[in-house]
Amino acid sequence: MGKKVAMSEPCEGSSGLTGTWRIKRPVIDQGKCTHCLQCWLFCPESAVIREDGKVRINYDYCKGCGICGEVCASKAITVVMEE
């Protein structure tokens, strides 16, 4: 028998889409991104997504805390004011 591993996936919570609370947003420079995935690991909202060989932000759930930019060793993520 194989080992069972608990896994969870981000999903819409009781508060719905929470990205509208954001006043700042992270922006990823794909040219600088080394795909180390520290942003994915540390994001408290699971808003960092690995997709089609790229790392992107799911702005529906990102609250703009900036943790992803702080942990990005390659400085590929900057946090800017929401427009």
- What is d(CA 70, CA 58) in angstroms, rounded to the nearest whole number? 18
CATH of the domain at 48: 3.30.70.20
Per-position b or e across 31-56, b if 16+ CB within 10 A of its CB? eebeeeebbbeebebebbeeeeeebe
13 belongs to a structural domain = no
- What is d(CA 42, CA 52) in angstroms, rounded to the nearest whole number? 21
Domain count, the chain: 1
2 belongs to a structural domain = no
| Per-residue confidence (pLDDT) for residue 21, from 0 to 100 | 82
8 belongs to a structural domain = no
- Which residue range is the domain that position 59 belongs to? 19-81
Which segments of the chain have a pLDDT < 50? none
